[in-house]
Structure formats: C-alpha cells, structure tokens
Amino acid sequence: MTSEPARGPVDATTTNAWGSLTELSKNLRPDLRGWFAADPARAERLSHQAADLHVDLSKNLVTDDVLASLLALADEVRLTERRDAMFAGEHINVTEDRAVLHTALRRPSDEPLTVDGQDIAADVADELAKVYAFAEKVRSGEWTGVTGEPVRTIVNIGIGGSDLGPVMAYEALEPYVQDGLQVRFVSNIDPTDVAQKTADLDPTTTLFIVASKTFGTLETLTNARLARDWLWRSLVAAGAIEDSEDGRSDAVAKHFVAVSTALDKVEAFGIDPENAFGFWDWVGGRYSVDSAIGTSLAVAIGPDAFAELLAGFHAMDEHFRTAPLEKNVPVLMGLLNVWYVNFRDAHTHAVLPYAQQLHRFPAYLQQLTMESNGKSVRWDGTPVTSDTGEVFWGEPGTNGQHAFYQLIHQGTRTIPADFIAVANPAYPLHDADADVHGLFLANFFAQTKALAFGKTADEVRAEGVAEDLVSAKVFSGNRPTTSILAPALTPAVLGQLVALYEHITFVQGVIWGIDSFDQWGVELGKKLALEIAPAVAGDEAALAAQDPSTAALITKYRELRA
Ligand code: F6P
C-alpha cells in the first residue's frame, strides 16, 4: 500500500460541470408542485435504498439536469479515486500524513487489510476482543470495585469525539442498555459537569472510563483528576479504602480504565495499561465511536449489540464503496449539499430526527461535519476556491416545530433539512385508541409536505382569511428536504446512519478539495487558554501581556469572582 497521497485536488470551480451548474442555477425556478405534477414518478425515481435506510430525495430543488451535472462534477473531481484511496489506507489526511481508516474498524475480521506494512485487520480484531471481554466482565458482575461490589454506573470522561459519539449512541440505543447499568458522560471543564454527574453516585459501584485519543486534552485530564479525587475522598469517607498510597492505587486500579492511542500517558496517569484499550492514529476523533472509544457503549449494550452496530456501519460503507453513483445515497446527499452551499446560497443545514432517542444526533453531527469541512485551505495548502462547510444544526421533531421551524417555513434563506424517522418506536404507546407514534410521524410527513408545496395566496383566501392577512399566511413552498425512513432504531440502523453522514461529509470535502480529517482550527484557542490561565489566576505579568480587551475582561472577572 502506498503512503503517497493521491493526486492534488481538482479545482471544482474550473470543471465543465461547475459551469453547467452555475448556468442551471441561474435559470432554475424551483417548482416542486409543478415538477411533481409533470412527473408522477418523481418520488419513486428519486428514492433510494441504502442498507436499511429508505431515502427520498424527491423534495429537493433539483431537476434531472442538475443531478446529472452534480454527478459529472463528482466525476471531474475524481471522487471515486479519492474514496478508493481512503478505503485502501492511503495517507489522504495529508496535513497529518495519516491514513483514514475508520472504515477498517467495522470490516469483517476475516478480511485482511495491510496498511503501512501492518496487518491492521488483526489489530482491530484483537482490540475489539479486549473491549468485548471487558464489557462482559462488567456486565456479568465479575469486575468489581474495591469492596467487591459490581459496577452500576460508568462515567465516561472525554470531550469532542471522545464524548459526542458515545453519548449520542448511548442515548439512541437506550432500550438495549442492560438493566441496572447506566452511563453518564462528563465532558465540559466547567467544574459543574463533574460535580453534578458524581453528586449522587456511590463510589463503590462507579467505574470511570477516561477516553482521550491523545491523552493530552486539558478538559479530559482535568476532569479525570477531579473524578479521581472524588473517588478517593468518597471511598475513604465510606470506609472502603485506607487513606494511603496503597488504598488510592487500589481504587484507581479497580475504578478507572482508559481508552487512548497514547498508552504511555495512560500509565503516567496511574492507570494500569492492562486496563487500557487502544486505537490508532488513523482513526480521527470524530470518527471513533466504533473504536475502543465506544467502550462505555459496548459495556452498556453488550458485545452482541455493539457488533450489530459495527455491521450497520459496514453495510453503509459497502453501499458507499460499491453502489453506482446515481444510486449512491452518501454521494447524492453530499452532492446535494454542495448544490445548496455553492449554487443556492445555503449557509446552514438542519438535521431533524423524528426520534427522541436521536436527540444528541445533531450535536454529534456538528463535530463530524463542521470539524471536518470548516476549512479555508485545500489539502495541498492552497486557498479553497468556493465556499465550504455549512453550519449543521437541529433538534428532534416535534420540539423544533414549536421553536425554529418558523424560520425554515417562512424565512428568507434556503435551509435544506434532513428529516429522519423510524417506523417502529421503542415505546409503542397509545393515547386511547390512537397510536402515538403514528401521530408523531404524521407531523414528519406534514412538515416535509408543507415545506415542499407550501400554501398559495389563493388557498389562504379560500379559507376566508382577510385580505390584509393573506401575505402573512402564505407559505412559499420549494423548501428542500430529504426524508430518511428506517424500520426501527436498532444498533445496525444507527451504524448505517452515522456512516451515511461520515461519507456525506467526505464527499463534500472531496468536491471542495479539502482535508476533512485534520482539525488545526481548534489548536490556537487551546494554546491561548494555557497562556491566559496564569493571568486569570492572578499573574500580573501575564495579564499585562494581553490585548486591552482581553486584559479588561480578565480584570473584570477577577473583580467579580468571590
Ligand atoms: O477539539 C479538537 C479535538 O482534537 C477533537 O478532534 C477530538 O475529538 C477532541 O479534541 C478530543 O481529543 P482527545 O480524544 O485526544 O482527548
């Protein structure tokens, strides 16, 4: 396998397809009503199946010509070459000189994959076996704390990709969590987070998982130390350990495990490397929920369900890798996003899960999409040639309907929105005779219909509305949505959904010519926080070194701080 990156980026704006799309956009008069009337097969033609996901793209603002040009654009920028380079383990993360192989985490273990001379399929299988063995030990009660009590609460300490994936998946798969076990997630360095999450915990039945790819993240290491202090303090107070070096190291050995690529740093923290689970630098933090970073989840839902989750990821990987581009859902959805950002002036993209269990999915996607594609230079270091990275946001329906949907229906900007629902709920409750899930999904269908087809002035008038109120009650329609329907929120479906968005993000990155796998933009703030901390703590020289606004704010903070 070569470690050379594939050829440099193609400037998408110089392609023939970009020219065609510019022209098509200039002349496009979106008319979903007319388009559906003229082409009754539109919904069927523009709906696709990707593993268990039924994806209806027909309410997007595209004609066949637009779609053909988008696919031509993918061709001209050599999307499939880059995709294949990723799957093959080439160093497509150019600025960090790394392979990008989250897809290797979910391949069947009997399919070998050698990258940079290393049999990584075997490495992945070994580490996964270690995570599963640990999960079984905790779930069965074989793993005990200092007093011999089994674990009841796992606290995952991590941030960014070491938090958002596990917490999103834990919430999504809550019905699969073993009775008597719960996971909490501490991420923020705001001391409130660790204080609140430990306040009512019994230290004898609590296990901390410190999850950090680098094991150098200030927030995570600070929270890990706070948690360790809490553990020692409360175990001593409960008479469970001696207040001694031995007592404390026994407590860490039985109540702390770690997940990291930096096992030396784990040991320096005091955690036995035997109780640490590794992964590799070719797994980006935001792509790591399916690595050992998902250990808290694997314990909660068990190895079988975790394996099902991985199989779901893999099913979507295979779809992305092998489906013809015109039926390839991640490719089509990525291209549609490019269409909206670069040709229809969309600045944001809403993701609206009609599934309460997916309530952290938009937050998870924010890191995945915006840390990946919020870039101004291309992978060869030259400036980007078009806008990149739109803002992703969202909340579960129907809560969003009663909050921000007004803007999506009647605001001045185009906001493409993905609606996600499952046919079979985890909790099939009835309100008298009414199936509440049916009522819930009626909202899903109603919203996508209203956004697409709107309500004309004549239709408003026909309802007897006074003329001076008509314009306020008109819905323009032609507001683009994609509908994603799955049978149920199983581990496999969740894996498919996450992989779908990973690959959508990849497709957009390739069109824009950017390295979607580095994140240099978060480094400056981290460095400055360390430099500013002494000024906040009272160091006058450090304060004097700050710019006037920052110095004044720190001074104000110091005055206000009791
Ligand atoms: O905020 C940047 C970042 O590097 C993310 O990419 C990453 O997911 C997060 O910090 C946490 O990093 P780590 O897992 O190394 O603690």
- At 522-538, the pLDDT tens digits run 999 989 999 999 999 99
| pLDDT given for residue 109 in this prediction | 86
Atom of ligand 1 nearest to the CA of 159: 11
Dump the DSSP string for 47-77: EEEETTEEEE-TTSS--HHHHHHHHHHHHHT
Residue 4 above 70 pLDDT?
Answer: no
Predicted confidence at residue 5, as pLDDT, reads 45
For residues 119 and 69, which has the higher predicted lDDT (pLDDT)? Answer: 69
Query: Can you tell me which atom of ligand 1 is nearest the CA of 217?
Result: 16
Choice from 223, 259, 522, 524 to test ligand 1 binding pocket (greatest atom count within 8 A of CB): 522
Only one residue has tokens 């523009």, namely 46
Q: Look at 2 and 560; give whichever has higher pLDDT.
A: 560
The best mutation among 93, 162, 212, 366 to test binding of ligand 1, ranked by most ligand atoms within 8 Å of the C-beta, falls on 162
Active site amino acids: 371, 402, 526
| Euclidean distance between CA atoms 81 and 445, whole angstroms | 38
> For 314-333, what is each residue's pLDDT tens digit?
999 999 999 999 999 999 99
Ligand 1 atom 8: the closest Cα is on which residue?
161
501, containing H or E segment: helix 491-512
Asked whether the predicted pLDDT for residue 1 surpasses 50, the reply is no
The answer to whether 536 and 543 have CB atoms below 8 angstroms apart is no
Kindly report the protein residue whose alpha carbon is nearest to atom 6 of ligand 1. 285
Q: Average pLDDT for residues 398-419, to the nearest whole number?
A: 97
| DSSP β-bridge partners for residue 338 | none
CA of 215 to the centre of ligand 1 (A): 9
| Residue of higher predicted confidence among 241 and 4 | 241
Least confident of 112-121, 166-175, 384-393: 112-121
Beta 53-56 vs 47-50: how paired, if at all? antiparallel
- For residue range 247-264, what is the model confidence (pLDDT) as tens digits? 999 999 999 999 998 989
DSSP secondary structure code for residue 98 in this structure: B
Please provide the average confidence, as pLDDT, over all residues in the chain.
Answer: 96
pLDDT in tens, 362-379: 999 999 999 999 999 999
CA 212 to ligand 1 centroid distance, Å: 7
The 3-state DSSP class for residue 270 equals coil
pLDDT at 116: 85
C-beta separation of 287 from 268 below 8 A: no
Which atom of ligand 1 lies nearest, measured to the CA of 162? 14
Instruction: Compute, in angstroms, the gap from residue 286 CA to the centroid of ligand 1.
Output: 8
Q: What angle do CA 26, 29, 30 make, to 5 degrees?
A: 120
pLDDT of residue 8: 86
Whether the Cβ atoms of residue 204 and residue 149 lie closer than 8 Å to each other: yes
Report the residue among 168, 217, 527 best suited for mutation to probe ligand 1: largest number of ligand atoms under 8 A from its CB.
Answer: 217
Helix axes of 295-322 and 79-88: crossing angle, nearest 10 degrees: 140
What does the pLDDT average to over 281-296?
97
Contact 61, 478 (CB under 8 A): yes
Phi-psi region of 77 (alpha: psi -120 to 50; beta: other; left: phi over 0): alpha
- Check whether 99 has a pLDDT greater than 60: yes
Query: Alpha-carbon torsion 482, 487, 489, 491, what sign?
Result: negative
Spatial neighbors of 468 by CB under 8 A, at least 6 apart, are none
- What is residue 184's three-state secondary structure? strand
Distance CA 395, CA 417 (A): 11
| CA of residue 285 to ligand 1 center, whole Å | 6
Q: Which protein residues are within 6 Å of ligand 1, measured from CB?
A: 159-162, 212-214, 217, 220, 285-286, 371, 519, 522
**Atom 3 (ligand 1) nearest CA:** 160
- Which atom of ligand 1 is found nearest the CA of 285? 8
Which pLDDT belongs to residue 110?
Answer: 87
- Check: pTM over 0.95? Answer yes or no: yes
Task: Answer yes or no: is pLDDT of 416 > 50.
Answer: yes
What is residue 210's predicted lDDT score, i.e. its pLDDT?
Answer: 98
Residue of 95, 100, 102, 159 with the most ligand 1 atoms within 8 Å of its CB, for mutation:
159
Report the distance separating Cα 245 and Cα 201, nearest Å. 23
Q: What are the residues whose beta carbons fall under 8 Å from the beta carbon of 524, sequence distance 6 or more? A: none
Distance 309 CA to ligand 1 centre (A): 23
What is the biggest distance separating any 2 CA atoms in the chain, rounded to whole angstroms?
Answer: 81
Has residue 29 got a pLDDT over 90?
yes
User: What number does the ligand 1 atom closest to the CA of 211 have?
Assistant: 14
* pLDDT classification of 398: cutoffs 50, 70, 90: very high
Q: How far is the CA of 211 from the centre of ligand 1 (A)?
A: 10
What is the position in ligand 1's atom list of the atom closest to the CA of 220?
16
**% of the chain residues with pLDDT over 70:** 99
Outline where 118-163 has alpha helix (H): 120-140
Q: Determine contact, residues 395/352, Cβ cutoff 8 Å.
A: yes
Distance (angstroms) between ligand 1 centre and the Cα of 387 equals 25
Reply yes or no on whether the pLDDT at 486 is more than 80: yes
pLDDT at position 2: 40
Question: Would you state the pLDDT for residue 333?
Answer: 99
Residue nearest to atom 2 of ligand 1 (CA): 522
Span 122-166, pLDDT tens digits: 999 999 999 999 999 999 999 999 999 999 999 999 999 999 999
- The two three-digit tokens of residue 66, written as one number: 């637009």
Q: With bands split at pLDDT 50, 70 and 90, how would you rate the model's confidence at 562?
A: confident
From the alpha carbon of 164, which atom of ligand 1 is closest?
Answer: 8
Angle between helices 548-560 and 523-537 (to 10 degrees): 50
What is the C-alpha separation between 175 and 422, in angstroms, rounded? 14
Question: How much distance in Å is there from the Cα of 114 to the middle of ligand 1?
Answer: 26
The terminus-to-terminus CA distance of the chain in angstroms comes to 60
User: Is a pLDDT exceeding 80 seen at residue 414?
Assistant: yes
Mutation probe of ligand 1 site: the residue of 519, 523, 527 with most atoms within 8 A of C-beta: 519
User: How far does residue 533's CA lie from ligand 1's centre (Å)?
Assistant: 20
State whether residue 224 is helix, strand or coil: helix
Q: Whose CA is nearest to atom 5 of ligand 1?
A: 160
For the chain, give the percent of residues with pLDDT over 90: 95
In the chain, how many H helices and how many E strands?
A: 23, 15
β-strands 434-435, 391-393: how paired?
Answer: unpaired
